[in-house]
A = this chain, B = another copy of it.
């Protein structure tokens, strides 16, 4: 995971990964051919990604995938289409890597979509089919989707603070150039986290910060940025504007694992915000095989909670009554093993009992700088984090 400081040029870093991906693709394809020749049967082995092969690993604190593997056969009516789709996507990825192009999941879907000659059957009908195949290929090849040159959407993340980075950007006609990023000298929008934030494309050069503060909402992040919270508290502030994209989670993960920075997360006091915390922390069930690159199990929850409402004496006008959907989501949270801590269940109980939720912006009911000047410093001082 750690950035290799011995690699000579930036071009090399990206090239190394690209070559490793192409090698893995070739070996994967050759294995299908070899097996076919030996067993007279065309199939590929795909790790099982259903819930039955996923478990929460208490020790590491992440959702992990088991060892079960299924065979996807070419001459099986139930498998043939998925087999074909996998081959098409694999060929597309080979093109992308060879041409030095990155692209979106949606583009890959259109790229492989065509009508099979002589039939009215399409290779794919919906994007979720090609998305699933890309996930299969991630597990089969051992590279994350971003290393296969495929991203989801444009970047959503915004970052500021004492950190120097370097983006390695391929030139359309070959080679790469580098773009220097100084996290202390970014505009009000911050550094826009790119759609792919793997070490071969985003190189962390220097980190002066002592911790990472993840803020759920972009508008709240703007307040922290405007107040130069990162300067006063020597930290990196980052937001993904709601549900985090993979690139933002990847940066948080890398800052924690490569630079040993503690990670604190701030969200609204509601089931949706708390779930977002758990996405940064544990990863999501259907991407369990990525937990080791995306999750940050040591992340701690800074706030907001219903206990905070009482402790910091918020006015009652900030209370928002729970909807049926809020209550349902809260029930869901109770079931997640990583929310099994007593401290969290006390908060769940409290929210249910008092029947309200609360937003980060509620801080402004006191004064505009309440979060940056009073609440967050107090939490950092007392270390009153939730697990």
Contacts and interface: CB of A to CB of B under 8 A. Distances in A.
Contact of A364 (B111, B196, B221, B223): B111
A369 B106 CA distance: 14
A219 interface: yes
A113 B365 contact: yes
Contacts of A359: 106, 110
A303 interface: no
Contacts of A192: 158, 186-187, 189-192
Contact of A179 (B102, B113, B185, B223): B185
B189 A191 contact: yes
A195 interface: yes
B158 A219 contact: no
Interface string A344-385: 000000000000000101111100110000000000000000
Contacts of A172: 226-228
A151 B188 CA distance: 12
A74 to B, nearest CB: 23
Interface in A214-258: 217-223, 226-228, 239, 241
Copies of this chain in the oligomer: 2
A154 B218 contact: yes
A261 B48 CA distance: 54
Contacts of A158: 154-155, 192
Interface in A163-189: 167, 169-172, 179, 181, 185-189
Nearest to A196: B188
A360 B52 CA distance: 38
Closest 3 CB pairs of A and B: A154-B218, A189-B192, A188-B194
Interface of A: 95-96, 99, 101-104, 106-111, 113-115, 122, 151-155, 157-158, 167, 169-172, 179, 181, 185-196, 201, 217-223, 226-228, 239, 241, 315-318, 359, 361-365, 368-369
